[in-house]
Each structure stands twice: as structure tokens, then as C-alpha cells.
């Protein structure tokens, strides 16, 4: 088709043929490129139609390896962390001793209250407990946007929107996407997470007696991402202190009340705004976390 | 060739698991390394001798790497399948185009170019992810930006540096022939 003339020179027709060949080659490349692009978009569409079984399959086969890696990461980070944080160990130890003493004082104070209001306490306890059923789930991974993966799903009685806590009653978040054998938990630090909370007041390292308790200070905790969160919509005329404990409030419909959320570490108040904000330290720490508990019947009881 | 393909798929799978489960406990102020992105970027960036952009081996290689990396990234890190695949495709082809533009016979400081292009690609990836995952809403392009982006960049750059020097040592690739001479 493109034979070279005996004279070695290309005539006009040959040059034109060469140009057309070059254009055809480029347009062929673009056609292949467009076909490949279309096939990829089609593949993405098919994948999205079958997201649940695909993800469930991969998580099911990866769960043992993920669990192993999660445990290895937790234990090795604790080991290396002890070397890096040696300087702060003494400080943390002192702080924990003081906290322990404070808790012992509060325990004795609460015991005296409960002796005086035993019937009232029993009713409160029953209402609080309500016979919650929990399903223990192992933590296997942390996805982007502060979403935790656990190795239990709809086959274990877990559904969307169930509260997730640890054994100390610290709130971690709620279940979002639930597959057959695993589930995703939206943590409190997720950017889309907003929960109603209240502040437990302390004064001079002692718990305030019941008759002197100020009205409940309510607000919301919003996730910021990166495993951090802050408290917002705190009325400007209320007095909050550093180290105040934050718990879920009775206004919260998804989560039971009085679950531990975090502690205030910094506050921001602007007189020109109707609300103040506070930086908080969440109690829900994922490092070293092995298991969580999903409350499966809170909504039904509520 | 099939061994190499299977090895790459296994590597992406392993890195996705490590990113999702192991390195969570080694977060730097909330930042977890994007190992899948580091591996994808490194495998695309490394030049293949005598392989031009529109050659079948070049474009199809990028498609294969993008689909592989994006699939594992979406499976283990994001709620939907697809945004990472499309983002990696765009990043991969853009990267190869940038490399062609920078093509020169002489050059210096190859690691510096690698690092700068890596950081720009990483930022571009997060922006594309936010746009694609939120149906191209222009107000949501920062939705997938980590809150402490600078620590994310630093952490990922460390792993990218390690990959760069390991790959360089293993295959003794000469990067000098493909870098622009900016510093004379």
C-alpha cells in the first residue's frame, strides 16, 4: 500500500496516503481509548449494582487476616509506644491516681445518696438498663472518614442505626451499612456525626451535691474527622470547665442516655455569638481496641 | 508476565489490608498512610524503557493499575465502588502526560520531582474523590480531604520515599534521562 517509488522520492499521492495513515492511527488510538473508558464505566456501574455481595465476600475472606493485623498493630504500637512515651508515663500515673481517688470519693457519695433514695435509684436503674441485648463484635479495620469495620452483620441480628459501645459503657457510634457478615460503624468523630449530649459538672475535684446541681448543660458533639470531635451549641451564658465529662442526653433518640462520650479540654467563647464551642477528647479510642458491643434492642425498648 | 500481574494484584490487596487494619494503630495525629496510593503512584511513575504514552503497553498498564488499586481502595476504605477507580485513572494518565512534558535527555534531582509530583497527585486524588463520590458537586470537592492534611502528606511522603529508593535499588533505573533541567 505504501510502496516507495524507484526514484526514492514520494509523490503527492504517497504523501497524502502517509498523512491519512498517520491520522487513522491516531483516531484508532482515540477510538480504543474511548472504548476502554466506556468499558471501565460499565464495569464501575456493574460493581456498584453488586456492592453488598462484593464487599461482603472480600471482608468475609479477609476477616481472619484483618483481625490478625489489627491485633498485631495494636500490640506492637503499645510496645513501641511505651518507649516513645516513657517521659509521660510518670505524669499519666499521677493523674490516674488522682482520678481514682476522685472516683472513690464519688462512689461513697453516691452510695449515701442511694441509701437515702433507694427506691428512686432502683427505678432509674431499671429504666436505664431495660434489659438491653448486646452482640459482641470484633473490630477488624478502620476505613476512611472514621468508619470502623466489625465482623458481625445482619446474620447476627445487627441492623442499621444500632448503638455501639465498649464494655465500660463508652459510646463509639452507631451501625451504618450492615452486610451479611460484617458491618460498618460510624464513629462519633465522623464528619457526618452529630449527637445530643449533656455536661456532667465537677467543682474543685468533687462531685457537686444533688441539691446544688445546676441545670443540665446541653449541647451537641460534632465529628471533625481524624478521630477528633468538638462540642457545639453550648449556650453562651453557661459556665463550662475543663475536664467536665460529656455524656449522652435524654434528648438523643438513637443512643441511650448517660453513655460516656468524652471530656472537655479547651473552650472557645465569643460574646458576639449565641453559642460557645469546646474542644473535646473522646473516650472512644480505637487504638488497642479489640471488641465492641452492639445494642440490638434499644430502639424497640424506646 | 502473568506472574507479574498476579504479584501486583496481591501487593495491592496486602497494602489495602495493612492500611485498613495495621497502620491504623500507627496514625500520625489521625493521619493513616495511603499505602495503596503510594504503590499505585510508584508503579505508574517508574519509567518503562522505550515505552511511549500511546503504546498499548503504556495505556493499558495504567488502566490495569488504576482498576486494581481503585477496586481494593474502594472495597476496604470507602462505601461505594468506583470513585477511586475513576480517580486513579485520571491521576495515572495525567501523570504520564506530565512525565512526557518533562521528558528531557539530561536532568538532575529526580527524587525531588518524584516527591513534588507525588504530593500534587495526592492532593488531586483527594479532590477527585470528593467530586466523584458526591456526584460532581463543586461544593464537596474537599469532602474527602483529611482534616490534618499536612500530616497525611508527610506520612505518605515517607512511604513514597521508601518505595522510591527500594525500587531504584532493586531495578537500578536511571531517572536522569527523563527529568527537566531546571537547575543549571
Whole-number Å distance between alpha carbons of B38 and B19: 11
Q: Which of B52, B54, B81 to probe by mutation at the A interface, max A CB count within 10 Å?
A: B81
A170 secondary structure, DSSP code:
B
Q: Which residue has the cell 458526591?
A: B134
B34 assigned to some structural domain: yes
Across the interface, which of B18, B78, B82 has its CB nearest the CB of A144? B78
Does residue B155 lie within any of the structural domains? Answer: yes
- Is B178 among the domain residues? no
CA A119 to chain centre: 38
Are the Cβ atoms of B59 and A58 closer than 8 angstroms? no
CA distance B17 to chain A (A): 6
Percent of chain B past pLDDT 90, that is, above it, reads 14
Of A77, A191, A288, the CB nearest to B26: A77
With residues binned 3-state (H G I as helix, E B as strand, rest as coil), the percentages for chain A, rounded to 5, are 40, 30, 30
Determine the residue of chain A that is closest to B93 in CA distance: A33
Which helix (H) or strand (E) covers residue A104, if one does? helix A86-116
In a domain, B177, yes or no: no
Query: Is B175 a domain residue?
Result: no
Give the model's pLDDT for residue A230: 93
What distance in Å separates the CA atoms of residue A193 and residue A254, rounded to the nearest whole number? 12
Smallest CA–CA distance from A229 into chain B, residue? B147
Dihedral sign from CA coordinates of A244, A290, A136, A227: positive
Q: Is A57 exposed, middle or buried (0-12, 13-18, 19+ CB in 10 A)?
A: middle
Q: Residue A103: what pLDDT? A: 67
Chain A residue with Cα closest to B126: A144
- B97 or A119, greater pLDDT: B97
Looking at residue B79, its pLDDT comes to 79
Average pLDDT over residues B17-36: 86
Distances (CA, A) of B131 to A65, A71, A133, B122: 32, 35, 41, 14
Domain that holds residue B85: 2-170
What is the C-alpha radius of gyration for chain A, rounded to an integer number of angstroms?
A: 30
Q: Which residues contact B7 (CB under 8 A, 6 or more apart)?
A: none
The pLDDT of residue A91 is 62
Q: What percent of chain B has pLDDT over 70?
A: 73
**B26 vs A66, A73, A288: nearest CB:** A73
Q: Compute φ and ψ for A210, nearest 5 degrees.
A: -55, -40
Taking contacts as CB-CB distances below 8 angstroms, the residues of chain A near B20 are 66, 141-143, 149
- Average pLDDT of the residues of chain B: 77
Give the per-residue pLDDT at B60. Answer: 79
Q: Return the pLDDT at B177.
A: 46
CB-based contact B63 A40, cutoff 8 Å: yes
B6: pLDDT strictly greater than 80? yes
The per-residue pLDDT for B165 is 83
B50 or A253, greater pLDDT: A253
Q: What is the pLDDT of residue A76?
A: 84
| B179 within a domain of the structure (yes/no) | no
**How high is the pLDDT of residue B18?**
92
**CB neighbourhood size of A155 (10 A):** 12
Would you call B80 and A48 a contact, using CB atoms and an 8 Å cutoff? yes
Q: Is the pLDDT of residue B96 over 90?
A: no
Instruction: Count Cβ atoms within 10 A of the Cβ of residue A83 and give its class: 0-12 exposed, 13-18 middle, 19 or more buried.
Output: exposed
B70 — pLDDT class (breaks 50, 70, 90): very high
Question: Grid coordinates in use for A188?
Answer: 462519633
A212 DSSP 8-state letter: G
Average confidence (pLDDT) over B126-151: 71
Residue bearing the bigger pLDDT, A115 or B80:
B80
Residues of A in contact with B30 (CB under 8 A): 225-228
Q: DSSP secondary structure string, chain B?
A: -HHHHHHHHHHHHHHHHIIIIIGGGG-BTTB---HHHHHHHHHHHSPPTT--TTSHHHHHHHHHHHHHHHHHHHHHHSSSSSHHHHHHHHHHHHHHHHHHHT--SS---HHHHHHHHHHHHHHHHHHHHHHHHTTT-GGGTTTTS-TTHHHHHHHHHHHHHHHHHHHHHHH----GGGS-----
pLDDT band at B146 (very low <50, low <70, confident <90, very high): low
- The C-alpha atoms of residue B5 and residue A160 are separated, in whole angstroms, by 38
Is residue B183 assigned to a domain? Answer: no
Q: How far is CA B183 from the centre of its chain?
A: 26
What is the rounded average pLDDT of the residues B106-110? 53
The model's pLDDT over A123-163, given as tens digits with 9 standing for 90+, comes to 444 445 556 788 899 999 988 788 999 999 999 999 999 99
Cβ contact (<8 Å) for A54 and B17?
no
Task: Give the Cβ contact number of residue A105 at 10 Å.
Answer: 13
Whether residue A36 and residue B60 make contact (CB cut-off 8 A), yes or no, is yes
- Cβ contacts of residue B120 below 8 Å, gap of 6+? none
Residue B106 lies in a domain: yes
Residue A150's pLDDT is what?
A: 92
Q: Which segments of chain A have a pLDDT < 70?
A: 1-26, 81-92, 94-95, 97-131, 201-214, 299-302
This complex has an ipTM of: 0.78
Q: How many domains is chain B partitioned into structurally?
A: 1
Amino acid at each position: 500500500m505504501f510502496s516507495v517509488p524507484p526514484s526514492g522520492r514520494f509523490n503527492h499521492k504517497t504523501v497524502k496516503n502517509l498523512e491519512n495513515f498517520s491520522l487513522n492511527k491516531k483516531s484508532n488510538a482515540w477510538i480504543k481509548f474511548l472504548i476502554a473508558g466506556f468499558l471501565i464505566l460499565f464495569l464501575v456501574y456493574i460493581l456498584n449494582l453488586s456492592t453488598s455481595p462484593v464487599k461482603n465476600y472480600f471482608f468475609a475472606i479477609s476477616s481472619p487476616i484483618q483481625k490478625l493485623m489489627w491485633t498485631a498493630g495494636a500490640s506492637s504500637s503499645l510496645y513501641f509506644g511505651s518507649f516513645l512515651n516513657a517521659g509521660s508515663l510518670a505524669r499519666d500515673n499521677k493523674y490516674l491516681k488522682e482520678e481514682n481517688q476522685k472516683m472513690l470519693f464519688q462512689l461513697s457519695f453516691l452510695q449515701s445518696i442511694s441509701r437515702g433514695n433507694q427506691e428512686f435509684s432502683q427505678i432509674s436503674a431499671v429504666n436505664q438498663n431495660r434489659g438491653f441485648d448486646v452482640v459482641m463484635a470484633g473490630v477488624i479495620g478502620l476505613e476512611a472518614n472514621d468508619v470502623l469495620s466489625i465482623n458481625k452483620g445482619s446474620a447476627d441480628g445487627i441492623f442499621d442505626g444500632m448503638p455501639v459501645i465498649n464494655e465500660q459503657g463508652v459510646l463509639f457510634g452507631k451501625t451504618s451499612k450492615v452486610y451479611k457478615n460484617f458491618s460498618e460503624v460510624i464513629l462519633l468523630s465522623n464528619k457526618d456525626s452529630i449527637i445530643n449530649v449533656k455536661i456532667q459538672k465537677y467543682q474543685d475535684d468533687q462531685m457537686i451535691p444533688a441539691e446544688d446541681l445546676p441545670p443540665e448543660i446541653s449541647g451537641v458533639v460534632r465529628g471533625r474527622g481524624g478521630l477528633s470531635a468538638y462540642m457545639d451549641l453550648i449556650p453562651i451564658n453557661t459556665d463550662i470547665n475543663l475536664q467536665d465529662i460529656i455524656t449522652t442526653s435524654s434528648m438523643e433518640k438513637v443512643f441511650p442516655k448517660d453513655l460516656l462520650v468524652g471530656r472537655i479540654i479547651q473552650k472557645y467563647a465569643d460574646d458576639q455569638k449565641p453559642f460557645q464551642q469546646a474542644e473535646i477528647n473522646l473516650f472512644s479510642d480505637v487504638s488497642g481496641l479489640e471488641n465492641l458491643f452492639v445494642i440490638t434492642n434499644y430502639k424497640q425498648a424506646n | 508476565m502473568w506472574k507479574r500481574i498476579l504479584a501486583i494484584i496481591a501487593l495491592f490487596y496486602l497494602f489495602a489490608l495493612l492500611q485498613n487494619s495495621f497502620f491504623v494503630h500507627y496514625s500520625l495525629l489521625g493521619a493513616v498512610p495511603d499505602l495503596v496510593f503510594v504503590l499505585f503512584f510508584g508503579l505508574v511513575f517508574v519509567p518503562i524503557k522505550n515505552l511511549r504514552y500511546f503504546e498499548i503497553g503504556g495505556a493499558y498498564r495504567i488502566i490495569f493499575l488504576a482498576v486494581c488499586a481503585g477496586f481494593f481502595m474502594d472495597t476496604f476504605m470507602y462505601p461505594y465502588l468506583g470513585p477511586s477507580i475513576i480517580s486513579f485513572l485520571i491521576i495515572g494518565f495525567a501523570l504520564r502526560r506530565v512525565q512526557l512534558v518533562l521528558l528531557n535527555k539530561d536532568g538532575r534531582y529526580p527524587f525531588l520531582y518524584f516527591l513534588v509530583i507525588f504530593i500534587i497527585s495526592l492532593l488531586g486524588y483527594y479532590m477527585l474523590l470528593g467530586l466523584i463520590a458526591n456526584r460532581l458537586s463543586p461544593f464537596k470537592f474537599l469532602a474527602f480531604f483529611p482534616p490534618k492534611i499536612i500530616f497525611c502528606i508527610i506520612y505518605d511522603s515517607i512511604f513514597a520515599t521508601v518505595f522510591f529508593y527500594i525500587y531504584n535499588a532493586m531495578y537500578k533505573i536511571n531517572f536522569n534521562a527523563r527529568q527537566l533541567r531546571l537547575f543549571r
